[in-house]
Every structure is written in C-alpha cells, then in structure tokens.
Amino acid sequence: MQEEPQQILERMKEKVFEVQIEENALAHVQEQYKASNITSENGGACVRIVSDSKPIEGDVRSVKPNLEDVYLYMFDQDSN
C-alpha cells in the first residue's frame, strides 16, 4: 500500500531546515547537505536543507516540509 502525500509529509517533520549563512559558506554547506532551495538575503544566503540530522552551520531553524523536499529526500534514499 502506497503512503498518502500527507503521511509522507508527516514523516518528514524534523528533517527540513532553513539555515542563514554567510555567502562565502554556501559552497561548503552545499557539499555537506542536500539543498532544496537557496535564496540571497541581506548579504548572505538562506538555504533550505533536507537532512536526517540538524545542520550545525549558521542560524538553523526547523521548517515544515513540502513536496519538493519529500522528492529530494526520497530520490536520494533510492540512489543509495
């Protein structure tokens, strides 16, 4: 039986984070984590990360997952 989208989103709680970092740290963060979105903000960057563990770089907050986050997470698991 296939999971409904809402069930998958529920399972993804605490696996999606937004991190505020300095622009010069962006390459490092992209190497360490799966970034689902990056926006420029106030001379820095806001990176949306999909990860089993909370990132340690920058100002981190947990955010509500969306279907793009689910796709990135599931696709990466299937490739391992």
Phi, psi of 12 (to 5 degrees): -85, -5
The whole-number pLDDT of residue 4 equals: 82
pTM of the model: 0.83
* pLDDT, the chain, mean: 88
Taking residue 39's Cβ as centre, other Cβ atoms within 10 Å add up to 10
Q: Which residues pair with 38 in a beta bridge?
A: 47
What is the helix (H) or strand (E) element at residue 50, kind and residue range?
strand 44-50
The whole-number pLDDT of residue 78 equals: 52
Confidence of residue 2 (pLDDT cuts 50, 70, 90): confident
Whether residue 43 contacts residue 23, with contact meaning beta carbons closer than 8 Å, is answered with yes
The whole-number pLDDT of residue 77 equals: 61
